[in-house]
Amino acid sequence: MAQLFRVDLPKGMSSVKLDSQGRATVQYTVKNLSARKIDGRAVLVWLSQGKSPAGTVEKGWATIETPDRSFDVNKEETYTVKILVSPKSPVGNYAFRLDAVSIDKPDEGDSGPSVAFTVAAPSPSTSKFPLWVIPVVLLVVIGLGVGLWLALRPSGTAVPDLHGKTLSEADDILKKADLTLDQNNVQTAESKAEDSDRITKQTPDAGQKASKGQAIQVTVGAEMVSVPQLIAVPYNQVLGILSGKKLVVGQTTVAPNPSFTGAVVWNQTPSAQQEVKTGTAVNLTMTPEMVTVPNVIGQTLGNAILSLRELKVASFSGDNTKTVISQNPPGGASVPVGSPVTLAFPFIPCFGGVNCIYLGNYAQRVAMQRVGIAIRELEQQKEAPPK
């Protein structure tokens, strides 16, 4: 029996079918049954299906947008789970479920019904190819092949050179070339200090042809840095400290601690002085406090994040080189410190005509680069002589 939440699927749904590109979506509804306001988190759990290897959740095949949400009494939220199975994945039956837990007490929560899907083997061809056709095909290939190849070769978009660029800069460059940055496969590799947080490798390489909307994979240099001491630091100072180390804010948890005042960090992972790669997410636990959400409409992404430093910009969408056109929660709302905020910028189409959405650690890295730009601009304004 549900204790805090009731987690449901649409009536009669127990499985979904992947489309030709290995995609599907599932919508869960989660309702607060606790008779009190509660901050909840949606968690995906992989379920074993016979001999099928693990992977639904561990490989990132199933993801949730904005897992952390605030539930008023009897409030119901809809969570959309996106399934995307990469090509050549192991054949088998897979299943997962969505659980809803309390953010303050993650061991308290309720499980939802499971959803299954099948990764099928390619259908073998049963038709027999007539051998007499082969000579005819060869004659056609010899006569037309070279001309056709020359005619088709120039088609497509030349991939820009992204070496030495930040993820934010690369994202802007690729959009102008009608290409996209593969957000789910950004790799990191140890590098020299001057290559830290900059692209050292790309696939396809610069100058090669790519189809419209194709995702470009990149590897980013990562210098080893020492994690700063954040315990006893007010949360509104954390952003600036991590930005200076080229680290990002990871998962934020609010929990009471009698030894600290409100909105102060009292636990961190990784711990202080630990050596990690730049771009690493630092998870934080802080004492509770209600804060007022600033109105950041009309601000750039970097300035908006600086204004929202008592909260966390969890995701954003659209052309983030422009200014914010909407935010959630709205300016003036009272929310717990560290609460997630989503920002929207003017629409910009990505592959398939959908709006570009930035999520997870990739969003945090792009956002942190914008913050760095905003901080440098503020410093230059302070140093500039008065007019």
pLDDT of residue 46: 83
Joined together, the tokens standing for residue 277 give 């790669």
Give one DSSP letter per residue of 186-198, joined into a string.
-EEEE--GGGBTS
Residues 318-325 have a mean pLDDT of: 90
Instruction: Give the CA distances from residue 154 to residues 147, 174, 175, 206, in Å, rounded to whole numbers and listed in that order.
Output: 12, 19, 20, 15
Q: Which regions of the chain carry the CATH code 3.30.10.20?
A: 157-222, 225-383
CATH class assigned to 157-222: alpha beta
For the chain, report the end-to-end CA distance as a whole number of angstroms: 69
Positive or negative, the Cα torsion across 121, 123, 124, 129? negative
Residue from 208, 226, 84 nearest 154 by CA: 208
CATH 3.30.10.20 fits 225-383, yes or no: yes
Q: Taking the model in full, what pTM does it have? A: 0.50
**Could you give the angle at which helices 235-244 and 360-383 cross, rounded to 10 degrees?**
90
What's residue 151's pLDDT? 53
Position 125 confidence tier, pLDDT thresholds 50, 70, 90 = low
Give the integer Cα–Cα distance in Å for 387 and 377: 17
Whether the Cβ atoms of residue 213 and residue 350 lie closer than 8 Å to each other: yes
CATH class given for the domain over 5-119:
mainly beta
pLDDT digits (tens, 9 = 90+) for 140-182: 657 666 555 555 554 678 999 999 998 878 888 988 888 888 8
d(CA 113, CA 8): 7
272 has pLDDT over 80: yes
Residue 373: helix, strand or coil by DSSP?
helix
Interatomic CA distance for residues 268 and 254, integer angstroms? 12
Report which of residues 184 and 286 the model is more confident about: 286
Dihedrals phi, psi of 39, to nearest 5 degrees: -90, 120
Q: Nearest-CA neighbor of 159 among 199, 213, 208? A: 208
Most trustworthy range by pLDDT among 34-43, 78-87, 270-279, 286-295:
286-295
Residues of the chain with CATH 2.60.40.2310: 5-119
